[in-house]
Chains A and B, each alone.
Chain A
């Protein structure tokens, strides 16, 4: 335990004093969040978006207006989710003879009056929900992405560098076991990543006021599980590679597709099935999906259990692989 604490402390110091890395870890995600918040804040389409379930309506009157965009849904539930988050202004269910509006949406109110004026005789239902801005949707992605880079480079790349320059060899000449060294790296990085995420989130939240429907505790638990998973992933790279360049290349080879296709920047809905299937193997997809569910839909841990299970299983797999492959030299 003493060895573990000493190694962890040394790694924490190294991180905190490396100002370049520290600021990059803290400021880069904040810049991204604010940048995207700014870029997408002015977007206000002049059209109403109405979801449709089932067949109905006509080619004339209300349904032919140029300001109306119609989106078809297979089920009412699917449409209601969008309506709650103000991605739809109104949802019409022809099968049940009902229509839904969000009572917190001004646009919904406007389109409803137009709809009623056209003489539709459907039953009114209402839902409630605050609008989701792009930035609310984006922030879990940024935190996840930052976590991924911090874990894989901060553990994987650093250990490869330690191996190359002989720090590992020097430790091998002491009574330290590989497991003590690795767990010290793991816990040090876990603390760093969680603190970074909390600082980035809280700092941006002061100015942007993110939507938070679920529990912060659950979000932190989920983030911890995902962080351990990412660190374990980084350890796989760190197990044997001796060259920083090779490690860098391999890490980027994995990180960039993962960043592009885990739903950090855009939703994977509507992308080709192949891509969606592939994205399921990325741990980052599961983190982002689950954290969005907690933040935007108020999901509890049971609701995100499938994502947690995938993350836990991946962690086990990565740890097993890296411990089998690990070499000091």
Chain B
């Protein structure tokens, strides 16, 4: 294995439930690797085993080819899905506290600048908005100038504007050459940020490639989408989706001609290039958000 991070035959069982089932992959240094999947797919369990927070039931997680050891946390930056911060202390004090916990420190002014925390330094942790809080948590994940950064669903619960702002911060960290492992259930997030993605479902990795590679492997052409009354027979090659039908096709002209020929109303029709959302639907047969 040559990756900076790797897992080998990693499994985790809770009672009878196999949350993560014998997965193996590796992440090259400097990459932003996305672990995608719906809630309950096993993403958080996987990332927490790689962070050295959860002990695997079997298999192992490696950092630079070696099992995760006691010094791993000096070299890693971690942002959990939900973390409470100590109350009654300010953003600046929280940054100083976490800085003091590591042997290696990054200049705090740099960290503050990267995460745009200048305006809220004196604010009590209890009074942060969702986006401010995530920015602080990201800052805490980089105070030790880590080699790898783990981000577990960092934009869940943020409004669209805050999500896009947060992506910009991740881009900055990526630009510094740090390896990032990101879990998300937003496909657009993975398409924007990730060099490589693995799609997880029911504890397994069901596909893994670059976002474009995955799309090219699985789709030729575009998807025609059309409102459709439920119960009405579907045209050839169409599949029912929420509120309508989708027809994947390589030849848009032929598909549209076919529809017109069979007397279908084209009002509300849209054509779009397939994205990871479509890929997930295709691979698992179920919608990602459901």
Contact = CB atoms under 8 A, between A and B. Distances in A.
A18 B88 contact: yes
Nearest to B72: A175
Interface stretch (B29-37, B92-100, B274-282): B92-100
Interface stretch (A1-9, A187-195, A248-256, A282-290): A1-9
B86 A174 contact: no
B262 interface: no
Contacts of B17: none
Contacts, number: 70
A77 interface: no
Contacts of B97: 6-7, 9-10
B254 interface: no
B73 A170 contact: no
Contacts of B85: 167, 170
Given A166-B82, A175-B102, A17 B88 contact: yes
B89 interface: yes
A171 B94 CA distance: 12
A169 B73 contact: no
Given A13-B88, A14-B87, A166 B101 contact: no
Contacts of B124: 17
B86 A14 contact: yes
A173 interface: yes
Contact of B100 (A3, A14, A166, A167): A3
Contacts of B88: 13-15, 17-18
B93 A13 contact: yes
A289 to B, nearest CB: 36
Interface string A137-178: 000000000000000000000000010011101111111100
Contacts of A9: 97
Contacts of A17: 88-89, 124
A169 B83 contact: yes
A173 B100 contact: no
Interface residues of A, number: 25
A5 B99 CA distance: 12
Given A13-B88, A175-B74, A170 B80 contact: yes
Interface in A4-40: 5-7, 9-11, 13-15, 17-18
A23 to B, nearest CB: 14
Given A169-B80, A173-B78, A10 B101 contact: no
A155 to B, nearest CB: 15
Contacts of B87: 14, 18
A174 B84 contact: no
A5 B96 CA distance: 11
Contacts of A3: 100-101
B84 A6 contact: no
Main secondary structure of the interface of A (DSSP, over half): helix
Contacts of A11: 86
B257 interface: no
B267 interface: no
B103 interface: yes
Interface string B237-251: 000000000000000
B175 interface: no
Nearest to A177: B70
Contacts of B84: 162, 165-167, 170
Nearest to A329: B53
Contact of A172 (B53, B89, B98, B103): B53
A256 to B, nearest CB: 27
Contact of A173 (B53, B94, B96): B53
A2 B100 contact: yes
B71 interface: yes
Interface string B60-86: 000000000001011010101011111
A328 to B, nearest CB: 9
Nearest to B103: A175
B51 interface: yes
B91 to A, nearest CB: 13
A175 B99 CA distance: 11
Given A5-B100, A175-B102, 8 more contacts: A14-B88, A166-B80, A170-B78, A173-B51, A174-B102, A175-B71, A175-B103, A176-B101
Interface of B: 51, 53, 71, 73-74, 76, 78, 80, 82-89, 93-94, 96-103, 124, 140
28 contacts: A3-B101, A6-B97, A6-B100, A7-B97, A7-B101, A9-B97, A10-B97, A11-B86, A13-B89, A17-B88, A17-B89, A18-B88, A162-B84, A166-B80, A167-B84, A167-B85, A169-B80, A170-B78, A170-B140, A171-B101, A173-B51, A173-B76, A173-B80, A174-B98, A174-B102, A175-B71, A175-B74, A175-B103
Interface of A: 2-3, 5-7, 9-11, 13-15, 17-18, 162, 165-167, 169-176
Closest 5 CB pairs of A and B: A6-B100, A165-B84, A17-B88, A173-B78, A14-B88
